[in-house]
Amino acid sequence: MRLLHFPVKILFPNVPAAPGMPCAGEDRSIYRRGARRWRKLYRVNGHIFQAKRFNRRAFCAFCQDRIWGLGRQGFKCIQCKLLVHKKCHKLVQKPCSNEHVDPIEVKDDANGESTLGRASSVRSRADPEPPLPETPPAPASAPVRNEDLEPGSQRQYSLDDFELIRVIGRGSYAKVLMVELKRTKRVYAMKVIKKALVTDDEDIDWVQTEKHVFETASNHPFLVGLHSCFQTPSRLFFVIEFVRGGDLMFHMQRQRRLPEEHARFYAAEISLALHFLHERGVIYRDLKLDNVLLDHEGHIKLTDYGMCKEGVRPGDTTSTFCGTPNYIAPEILRGEEYGFSVDWWALGVLTYEMLAGRSPFDIAHAADNPDQNTEDYLFQVILEKTIRIPRSLSVKAASVLKGFLNKNPVERLGCGEAGFLDIVNHPFFKSIEWEMLELKQVVPPFKPRLEGERDLANFPPEFTDEPVHLTPDNDTVIADIDQSEFEGFEYVNPLLMSLEDCV
């Protein structure tokens, strides 16, 4: 066997003293540029309204009718939490009390205890809103041209700077490409999002959240970092540090199941990444085999922050129904308020998949039976079926799986008073040296075979034939896009820039 050694590439020229700490000379305030600008706020009678989607029954405080439909159907005052229809917001007579009043929000199931009111009031105080324009912001100005930049400021990127190499992934909102920055010949992953999709029926906040989570993730060894962001009239582009070893899904498809020692290593590195996000108020919400990437050494990195929820404090909850069906926690399916617990459930599903070589919710022959092959049936299984652990697994492995896959989030491993410490101290993880692990000082159990920077051997074959080009912009689609929603999206990671300049 031929062994090739590759120069170790680092994301930043410096290494932080500890994961999450800034690097020497790193100015975190730079990340914020353009990261929190597009929340449109509307002032009426002292209220400060923001467009919101409601996924539970909500009633308009003005006309008393239900707030309905896809997209941002309603407005919510960020101060007093008053809910109204978009169409009613200008008519609101009641002045803003500037204090929290209980929102007129009704849970679909009457028995669950809702903590939404309290959680929201804490949030608005903890996360002050940006200064308000008196009128809705003006339409986006043309992107700043590089020649116009003041000396010393960051150069912006555009699509012309990149060669599109191939499609490597696709989600409901995004296409992901492998690209090369022409000037340096470095390879990146590029997540492309059509603006029409995010403005049509989604709250724009999530694009902002994704960028903010990238900022949070930047110095953690087990989270992908951001190189730059830019836009065209029709699309948003996130240029992401490229992780070369493929994803865990691809590796599982070749391995069938992993030795316990390997699964333990991946589960422990993922735990550190999740705990890091949780400590910073972020629920990841989309842990699955496809989002766990392996770097050239075999360490993990989580990708795709499009589903993240930020600004969550211990004990806070949220209620958006989201995730990937096989990994959705029972509390989400029950329509309950939930918190960080959903990520530990998903880690349980993923660890089960690594150890057993199949999903805990796979029913034998379900694929042949049309009734059992539906999402609703899967949800029923997640909610009701007792999880069977293969007898071939060790007692400790069975125990950690039962811990994470507890249908009651209060009793779930990682969700108690001691939180993450319960995971660290679990017998299954006894051999893990957590500090060494976080410093990437533990040698991974498996090293992806890479023949070269552009080696495609580890990539899922599904996409290899797909044309890599982006469809030309359609003027009628663009005419419907409110470009002001995306103002300030451009971003360049200053540390990567200086690294590139060294080349």
Among 112, 143, 171, 335, contact with ligand C58 (rule: CB under 6 A): 171
Q: How far is the CB of 324 from ligand C58 (least distance, A)?
A: 10
Which region among 94-102, 130-138, 168-176, 341-349 touches ligand C58 (by CB under 6 A)?
Answer: 168-176
Q: What is the footprint of ligand C58 within residues 408-427 (CB under 6 A)?
A: none
**What's the rounded Cα separation, in Å, for the pair 379 and 363?**
12
Which region among 89-97, 163-171, 349-357, 409-417 touches ligand C58 (by CB under 6 A)?
Answer: 163-171
Q: How far is the CB of 310 from ligand C58 (least distance, A)?
A: 17
Q: Which two three-digit tokens encode residue 291?
A: 């989002």
Residue 493's closest CA among 144, 129, 217, 246? 217
Q: Which residues of 232-242 are buried (b: 16+ CB within 10 A; e: fewer)?
A: eebbbbbbbbb
Which region among 49-57, 152-160, 241-249, 264-272 touches ligand C58 (by CB under 6 A)?
Answer: 241-249
Residue 12 DSSP symbol: S
How many CB atoms neighbour CB 119 within 10 A?
19
Among 246, 281, 330, 444, contact with ligand C58 (rule: CB under 6 A): 246
Residue 229 DSSP symbol: E
Q: What is the footprint of ligand C58 within residues 172-231 (CB under 6 A)?
A: 174, 176, 189, 191, 224
Among 167, 239, 240, 300, contact with ligand C58 (rule: CB under 6 A): 240
Q: What is the footprint of ligand C58 within residues 293-312 (CB under 6 A)?
A: 293, 303-304, 306
Any idea what the Cα angle at residue 313 is, between residues 227 and 221, rounded to 5°?
35
**What's the rounded Cα separation, in Å, for the pair 175 and 195?**
12
- Assign 3-class secondary structure to 238-268: EEEECCCCCEHHHHHHHHCCCCHHHHHHHHH
| 162 vs 242, beta carbon nearer ligand C58 | 242
Q: How far is the CB of 34 from ligand C58 (least distance, A)?
A: 21
**What's the rounded Cα separation, in Å, for the pair 136 and 51?**
12
**What's the rounded Cα separation, in Å, for the pair 237 and 222?**
22
Q: Which amino acid is at 22?
A: P
User: Is residue 109 among the annotated active site residues?
Assistant: no
491-492/226-231 β-pairing: antiparallel
Determine contact, residues 41/132, Cβ cutoff 8 Å.
yes
**What's the rounded Cα separation, in Å, for the pair 89 and 45?**
10
Which region among 236-244, 257-265, 342-350, 382-390 touches ligand C58 (by CB under 6 A)?
Answer: 236-244
Q: How far is the CB of 276 from ligand C58 (least distance, A)?
A: 18
Q: Is 455 left (phi over 0), alpha (psi -120 to 50) or beta?
A: beta
Q: Which two three-digit tokens encode residue 406?
A: 């507890």
**What's the rounded Cα separation, in Å, for the pair 235 and 94?**
40
Q: How far is the CB of 309 from ligand C58 (least distance, A)?
A: 16
| 49 vs 463, beta carbon nearer ligand C58 | 463
Q: Which two three-digit tokens encode residue 56?
A: 């539970």
Q: What is the footprint of ligand C58 within residues 312-341 (CB under 6 A)?
A: none
Q: Is 168 an interacting residue with respect to ligand C58 (CB under 6 A)?
A: yes
Site size toward ligand C58 (CB under 6 A) is 21
Q: How far is the CB of 33 from ligand C58 (least distance, A)?
A: 23
**What's the rounded Cα separation, in Å, for the pair 139 and 434?**
49
Q: How far is the CB of 208 from ligand C58 (least distance, A)?
A: 17
Q: Is 268 an interacting residue with respect to ligand C58 (CB under 6 A)?
A: no
Q: Which amino acid is at 397?
A: A
Which region among 166-174, 337-345, 362-370, 475-483 touches ligand C58 (by CB under 6 A)?
Answer: 166-174
**What's the rounded Cα separation, in Å, for the pair 44 and 86?**
12
Question: Choosing from 247, 286, 295, 304, which is the catalytic residue?
Answer: 286
| 293 vs 499, beta carbon nearer ligand C58 | 293
User: What are residue 134's phi and psi, to 5 degrees?
Assistant: -70, -35
Q: What is the footprint of ligand C58 within residues 457-496 (CB under 6 A)?
A: 459-460
Among 103, 169, 221, 409, contact with ligand C58 (rule: CB under 6 A): 169
| 308 vs 381, beta carbon nearer ligand C58 | 308
Q: What is the footprint of ligand C58 within residues 28-47 (CB under 6 A)?
A: none
Among 203, 260, 279, 290, contact with ligand C58 (rule: CB under 6 A): 290
Catalytic residues: 286
- The residues of the shown chain that bind ligand C58, judged by CB under 6 A, are 168-171, 174, 176, 189, 191, 224, 240, 242-243, 246-247, 290, 293, 303-304, 306, 459-460
